[in-house]
Structure 1
Amino acid sequence: PVGAFLSAIVAIREESASAAIATAICVAATLLALSADVGDSFVQVSAYGDERRHVLRCPPAMILIQLLAWIVWMSSTVLVTTFAIDRNWIPTAVLAVVVGALSWLLPRRFHRYSRRWLVQVPAGLVIHDHVVLAETAMFLARDVRSVDAVTVGTTDAADLTGGCRGTALRITLDDFETVVMSATRNEPGGRAIHVKSMLVCPSRPGRTLGELTTPPPSTTSPASS
């Protein structure tokens, strides 16, 4: 996103066709880099063994907050450079402190949202989401009755989407299990709830559902059958 941001600034100041073309290319590259397919590829590269990680969609409200925080961060970075070039040392010093603080804080915050996964392993399913959950939720394959696609708000299943809308996957268990929701101001220790069905929002719900419900290929050779 930094390239698109800086290219847009140059395009506005220069008013040239080449700057506009560079901005368009940077925007296209940014959209590709932020796509769900690229995200899935990156998280899968770091998976262990037989894990299949499915990226969970970021809640719209948090996307807006992160975008605004990123704009403040990048704008401050550009301004501190501009003031330093002009030798305006007081605003340079103030903005340098702001940029330093944001550079320490924001990457950690952003990284939490890149580590929200529904993980498929031979033993069962794992919801790895430390934004919504205080503890990773793990369910054995024998305890998972079904996985199906539903629309958020049309079912009484526990909502573990973090506020996403649209299509979600409903995981239904044979019996009640305990999951611990993340801490809030009113509940600093988190909140344990008993669930028999729950909703999660993968970035690619159709693809994820297909992989979760398709049986693995048979390893039995025709000669042995």
Structure 2
Amino acid sequence: MAMYVFKDAARKHKLLARDAQKQDKSSRFYCPNKKCNAHMSVRSLDGVSKAYFAANQSQSHVKGCPYKSRRFQPNLYDGNGFVFDDALLSLTMPSKSQSKSDIPGEHGTGEVAPKPIRTIRQIYSMCKSYDCSDSYNGKIIGQMLLDERSAYMYSKGVFGWRLIELKYRYYSSDRKEIVLVCPQNGKEYTFIMRFGNEKLFKEIRKIVYENRNHLIIVAGEWNSSGKYNAFCTEIKSKKQLTIVK
């Protein structure tokens, strides 16, 4: 599912779900993922739920496409209660006992009120569902997630709370650091995960190395590392990282 698509195969003409019209119901649209040839169509245009785009069964998404159905579903969450910096800060805190389900649902005979998105995977899925120039509860998507779409917004560097789509480069056991990279406008930014806890470093090092060929999503408060085009954040919890396969 996606909150935007393209009208043409060249991905030049964008259409946001909230701007879709009745005449668009019979049209075929193109997945935001340039590597995916899924046939997208508008859904729930006349329903009580917010309109969105999903792939037709005849031509579904390629394996690993971030716009597959059943990803972020805005109607299940309280968008007005979402505060990005607070959500990322909470990911650095020790885990609390909670239900295994991340998605609000029914409990007993009464319905549970929707809650704001909170996990790194939920936040990442939300950001990927929207265009980087769009917004969620007043916050620009590209100011929450740095990926290939929003890279142009970061010509002066990456500072503050951000979710970043990264690839593994190497680790240093001596410095308790894991180094990753992200392309940015033809340049390459380096991102360093630093650890004060050796046990946590070893746990995450194992996860990252075993998934070194996949995308690694890291949430943190980023600052200059003191090196050119290199930024760092302190990792305090496994909740700050997820793998996209």
Return the TM-score normalized by structure 1.
Answer: 0.24
Q: Which has the larger radius of gyration?
A: 1
Return the TM-score normalized by structure 2.
Answer: 0.23
Q: Larger helix proportion, structure 1 or 2?
A: 1
